Amino acid sequence: MGQMSGKTCIVTGGAGSIGLASARRLLEEGGNVMLVDRDDARLAKALKSLAHHGNRVATTTSDVTQTSDTRNYIQKTLAKFGQFDVLFSNAGASGDIKRVTDYPEEDFDTVMAVNVKASFLACKYAVPHMNDGGSIIITSSIMGVKSNPNIVAYATSKHAVIG
């Protein structure tokens, strides 16, 4: 088996392009994967594309910005696989391309919730179950380092993730 044999990974944003490609690779390397996404239809399509991996892949619908949903996807992962070794906080929102003076505060809050708060919640509730070690991966972007004045919320959120 591959280097992920016997390991389990939670992938948020799991039905999106980066999440699904990552899940494929993790499964190819022998790992188990819990795909987490807010879109039922995309999750079903993702699961169908990975069906040949059998019971090593599972899905759950979740709003990663909500504490109860975050706790729920972690508990579902534990119930299905018994443990997890990797948390890949990959869910993301890009927001609109607008000048800061034209950017609605509500839209800014939404992007920050998905790109920053969701990673905080994921870490907060996953870490207690990772007592024997593991890995946490949080997706960022070059926009967190070198931005564009019209990509306000996204750049701010990715800079926050980088720290």
**Residues assigned a catalytic role:** 154
Instruction: Give the number of residues written for the chain.
Output: 163
> Both tokens of residue 81?
């696989």
Q: Are strands 8-12 and 86-89 parallel, antiparallel or unpaired?
A: parallel
* Rounded-to-integer distance, Cα 71 and Cα 79, Å: 12
Distance separating alpha carbons of residues 117 and 115, to the nearest angstrom: 6
User: Does an H or E element contain 89, and which?
Assistant: strand 86-89
Report how far residue 44's alpha carbon sits from residue 34's, in angstroms, rounded to the nearest whole number.
13
Q: Identity (one letter) of the amino acid at 43?
A: L
